[in-house]
Amino acid sequence: MVNRAKQQQREAARAPPRDDAVADRYLLRFVLEAHTDRFRYLELDALLRSAGLDPASCYDRPSAAAAAGEEPYVVLRAPSPRLLRDVVTRAILVRDALEIWGVGADHGACAAQAAALEGTDVFFGEETTWCLGVEAYGVGLDLGAQEAVRNQYRGAFRCRGRVRLKGADVRYRVVEVYDEARPARGAAPARCYAGRVVAASRARELVSKLDLKQRLYLGPTALDAELALIMANAAGVREGCSTLDPFAGTGSILVACAALGGRCLGSDIDWKVLRGKHVSERDSGERRRGALPRKQPSAALQPLHADDRERRTIFANFRQYGLPLPEILRMDSSRFFDSFRGPSIEGAFDCVVSDPPYGVRAGARCAGKDGAVKPVPDELRREHVPATKPYATADVLCDLLEIAARCLKRGGRLAYLLPATNDLTPEDVPRHPALTLVACEPQQLSTKYARWLVVMVKGRDWSARDWTPAVRAGVRRGADAPFAALKEKLALPAPPPAPKR
Amino acid sequence: MVNLLTLNTLRCSRKDVTEGRLTLTTSRVEVRPTSDYDAAFLQHLLPSLEWDQLVAMALVVGVTLPAELNETLRGDDAFLRALHHVLFDVQVLEGSLCCAESGQIFQIAEGIADMMLPEAVV
């Protein structure tokens, strides 16, 4: 905490004397990763919305076809630097933002525009340290080429202070963008941008801080930190948001939500998962003398809590990062509303984020038993574990949508994962009368299957008429058209062979 | 860790109860500040609370709340601070919830409330 405060002080001291923007357009640089590139705009839109901006008026979205494998830049119009920082610091998939001083078909035109821009002199003081980066996407620029580019910008960046490559007060950057993905050697860039870096992602650090390799307590279905964080952003989780995950498991999604400032409630049916497992001495964090130390835990992590030495529970994962502990209930999501007083839970949440069990890696269970039920004798009741039975995927999805539709505030968002084939269309995604589909984007798993991130917003108040048993039964039987189409596309394991008689 | 706000939202899930009001008993409680006091958030929360139940549960953890809510209290900073404390800072680690109507008992163990019913009564 002290470090963070110090860092903020340093940044404040470094900030240029005037904070008002000299230009209102910004060049956002996305993180370059094949496995998240389809989520870029989904996350950006969610962040813009949660900052109170309308994405459509902020940037021109490239077509879906162009978005895949496209240059990792987008030009954004933001009404104020404050809002821009709010968006960029919370982003997982945006690295930083450049305040655009000049743009042109070549460096000459770009530099001339930047040089002509008014109000830039405040950044060129003798005391102000600076650096000028040159970057290009798709081509490598050797040092000589970079130097040649820099020299063209002498008139635009009239810096008088000293150069500092690390920790400079003001960071300038020149960016070359090419039209083709792999331009020929010596090809001219399609566009050049020049400007000042005004915001960088803070949340991106969480991807390595919450890395599963360092996580104390993992289950077979723990979701990787990056995707969990993207989901949390997609659902609009930020400081103080109440967040629900009805299929919490080891809490990998709630950890991400808590790290972004959410207040978390999680539920799961599996007592064993929630209450964790005993750990061997080897893993307990207390090394025997003489034993080789394993990889040192990162300095960002808290020292091992006394409660987590012998047994790891869902709470260990929160204590490890110094996050507020979530509220955890053991309950059956197929009977979620039986356990709550209606008015207390309806409209109580800003976000619902979940990776429901589909039986791909871990089978879904709900309470109940097929066949005869034996009463439990009183003396065994304390130790008795209620029976569970398989939980059909259609039911899991129905229940998740219903939970989100009832528990969310109006305007609250649901983000969840759906494993399906690559050709899933928005029409295939299960509907709920109170929820509107916002986005549905894939992460490729194989040539056939993908993990789709579905984002829905609660568009209107929930009403009991929306989701009658008849509607549900229809979905379950596959009579409902969207679900029938989805069933063909869901990446589900083959049903077990019928038992031999 | 389960706090009194969460416990206040719960009811007994048996089909044969009407209200399913739960009474709390505790054997291990931890008190530590968890979140920042936010008066507006608490005022927003007040209408959704089951007040009688909260008063009873607060008494179990040693906090006396006024039996009736009124307009003056809603704007009373000292009251809201006390409410914040009892709703968020008191964490029940071990204890149980008992349904007054059916006698069904739900255990709270290691900060997790177990709201599952045995299969015979599901």
Residues A194 and A210 in one domain: no
Residue B77 belongs to a domain:
yes
Give the list of residues 6+ apart from residue A3 with CB closer than 8 angstroms, or none.
none
Please tell me which of the candidates B41, B110, B118 has its beta carbon nearest to residue A376.
B118
Residue B122 belongs to a domain:
no
How far is CA A284 from each of CA A213, A281, A384, B59, rounded to the nearest angstrom? 15, 5, 29, 39
Percent of chain B with pLDDT over 70: 98
- Tell me whether residues B118 and A328 touch, CB distance under 8 A: no
B57, B4 contact by CB (below 8 A): yes
* Residues of B in Cβ contact (< 8 Å) with A339: 10-11, 13, 115
Q: Is A279 helix (H, G, I), strand (E, B) or coil?
A: coil
- Tell me whether residues A345 and B9 touch, CB distance under 8 A: yes
User: Which residue, A95, A96, A93, A97, is CA-closest to A45?
Assistant: A93
Residues A180 and A213 in one domain: no
Q: Which CATH number belongs to the domain containing residue A321 in this structure?
A: 3.40.50.150
User: Which residue, A231, A232, A199, A225, is CA-closest to A210?
Assistant: A225
Residues A298 and A317 in one domain: yes
A264 touching B (Cβ < 8 Å)? no
A325, A318 contact by CB (below 8 A): yes
Q: What is the spatial distance between Cα A441 and Cα A415, in angstroms, rounded to a whole number?
A: 11
CA angle B7, B8, B11 (to 5 degrees): 80
Q: Which CATH number belongs to the domain containing residue B89 in this structure?
A: 2.20.25.10
- Tell me whether residues B112 and A275 touch, CB distance under 8 A: yes
Residues A35 and A168 in one domain: yes
Residues A71 and A196 in one domain: yes
- Tell me whether residues A340 and B118 touch, CB distance under 8 A: no
Per-residue pLDDT at A213: 87
Strand ranges for A313-448 from DSSP E: 327-330, 349-354, 365-367, 388-390, 408-421, 435-444
Residues A147 and A250 in one domain: no
Neighbours of A67 (CB within 10 A): 15
- Tell me whether residues B6 and A369 touch, CB distance under 8 A: no
Residue A495 belongs to a domain:
no
Ramachandran angles phi, psi of A204, nearest 5°: -60, -30
* pLDDT tens by residue, B73-104: 888 999 999 999 999 999 999 999 999 999 99
| Residue B95 domain boundaries | 2-13+20-116
Residues A318 and A169 in one domain: no
Q: What is the spatial distance between Cα B89 and Cα B34, in angstroms, rounded to a whole number?
A: 6
The residue of chain B with its CA nearest to that of A241 is B41
Residue A494 belongs to a domain:
no
The residue of chain A with its CA nearest to that of B19 is A341
Residues A229 and A180 in one domain: no
Per-residue pLDDT at B69: 87
Beta-ladder partners of A450: A420, A444
Residues A102 and A248 in one domain: no
Residue B61 belongs to a domain:
yes
Per-residue pLDDT at A431: 82
Residue B121 belongs to a domain:
no
Q: Length of chain B, please?
A: 122
Neighbours of A409 (CB within 10 A): 16
Q: What is the DSSP letter of B87?
A: I
Q: What is the spatial distance between Cα A45 and Cα A106, in angstroms, rounded to a whole number?
A: 30
First-to-last CA distance in chain A? 65
The count of CB pairs under 8 A between chains A and B is 94
**Which portions of chain A are predicted below pLDDT 70?**
1-22, 63-70, 277-300, 359-363, 369-385, 470-471, 473-487, 491-501
Residue A496 belongs to a domain:
no
Beta-ladder partners of A172: A132, A196
- Tell me whether residues B1 and A325 touch, CB distance under 8 A: yes
Please tell me which of the candidates A330, A344, A348 has its beta carbon nearest to residue B116.
A330
Identify the domain boundary among A154, A174, A202: A202
Q: What is the spatial distance between Cα B82 and Cα B89, in angstroms, rounded to a whole number?
A: 10
- Tell me whether residues A381 and B8 touch, CB distance under 8 A: no
Residue A499 belongs to a domain:
no
Identify the domain boundary among A162, A180, A202: A202
Give this complex's ipTM: 0.93
Per-residue pLDDT at A21: 61
* Residues of B in Cβ contact (< 8 Å) with A240: 38, 41
Domain count along chain B: 1
Q: Is A67 helix (H, G, I), strand (E, B) or coil?
A: helix
The residue of chain B with its CA nearest to that of A275 is B110
- Tell me whether residues A384 and B118 touch, CB distance under 8 A: yes
Which long-range contacts does A491-496 make (Cβ < 8 Å, 24+ apart)?
A: A491/A358, A491/A360, A491/A419, A491/A420, A491/A421, A491/A445, A491/A449, A492/A358, A492/A359, A492/A360, A492/A393, A492/A419, A493/A359, A493/A360
- Tell me whether residues A329 and B2 touch, CB distance under 8 A: yes
- Tell me whether residues A341 and B50 touch, CB distance under 8 A: yes
- Please indicate whether residue B68 or residue A388 has the higher confidence score (pLDDT): B68
Q: What is the spatial distance between Cα B65 and Cα B51, in angstroms, rounded to a whole number?
A: 9
Neighbours of A379 (CB within 10 A): 7
Per-residue pLDDT at A11: 58
A366 touching B (Cβ < 8 Å)? no
A310 touching B (Cβ < 8 Å)? no
A332 touching B (Cβ < 8 Å)? yes
Q: Give the gap in angstroms from C-alpha A90 to the nearest C-alpha of chain B.
A: 21
Q: Give the gap in angstroms from C-alpha A272 to the nearest C-alpha of chain B.
A: 12
Give the list of residues 6+ apart from residue A205 with CB closer than 8 angstroms, or none.
none
Residue A31 belongs to a domain:
yes
User: Which residue, A351, A326, A198, is CA-closest to A265?
Assistant: A326
Residue A320 belongs to a domain:
yes
* Residues of A in Cβ contact (< 8 Å) with B107: 382
Per-residue pLDDT at A326: 94
Q: What is the mean pLDDT of chain B?
A: 90
Residue A103 belongs to a domain:
yes
Q: Which two tokens stand for residue A152?
A: 């063209």
- Please indicate whether residue A352 or residue B18 has the higher confidence score (pLDDT): A352
Per-residue pLDDT at A121: 87
Residue B40 belongs to a domain:
yes
Burial string for A486-499 (b: 16+ CB within 10 Å, else e) reads beebbbeeeeeeee
User: Does residue B58 register a pLDDT over 80?
Assistant: yes
A370, A338 contact by CB (below 8 A): no
3 state SS for A77-126: ECCCHHHHHHHHHHCCCEEEEEEEEEEECCHHHHHHHHHHCCCCHHHHCC
A479 touching B (Cβ < 8 Å)? no
Domain count along chain A: 2
> Which residue do the tokens 């000293």 mark?
A162
Q: Give the gap in angstroms from C-alpha A1 to the nearest C-alpha of chain B.
A: 16
The residue of chain A with its CA nearest to that of B122 is A368
A357, A248 contact by CB (below 8 A): no
- Tell me whether residues A329 and B112 touch, CB distance under 8 A: yes
Per-residue pLDDT at A498: 55
| Residue A148 domain boundaries | 11-202
Residue A357 belongs to a domain:
yes
3 state SS for A132-151: EEEEECCCCCCHHHHHHHHH
Q: Which CATH number belongs to the domain containing residue A105 in this structure?
A: 3.30.2130.30
* Residues of A in Cβ contact (< 8 Å) with B103: none
Identify the domain boundary among A202, A222, A252: A202
- Tell me whether residues A269 and B48 touch, CB distance under 8 A: no
Q: Is the dihedral of CA A345, A223, A29, A128 positive or negative?
A: positive
- Tell me whether residues A330 and B13 touch, CB distance under 8 A: no
Residues A152 and A186 in one domain: yes
Q: Which two tokens stand for residue A400?
A: 């998740």
Per-residue pLDDT at A362: 60
Residue B108 belongs to a domain:
yes
Q: What is the spatial distance between Cα A468 and Cα A472, in angstroms, rounded to a whole number?
A: 6
Residues A54 and A94 in one domain: yes
Residues A372 and A224 in one domain: yes
The residue of chain A with its CA nearest to that of B120 is A375
- Tell me whether residues A331 and B115 touch, CB distance under 8 A: yes
Q: Give the gap in angstroms from C-alpha B30 to the nearest C-alpha of chain A.
A: 13
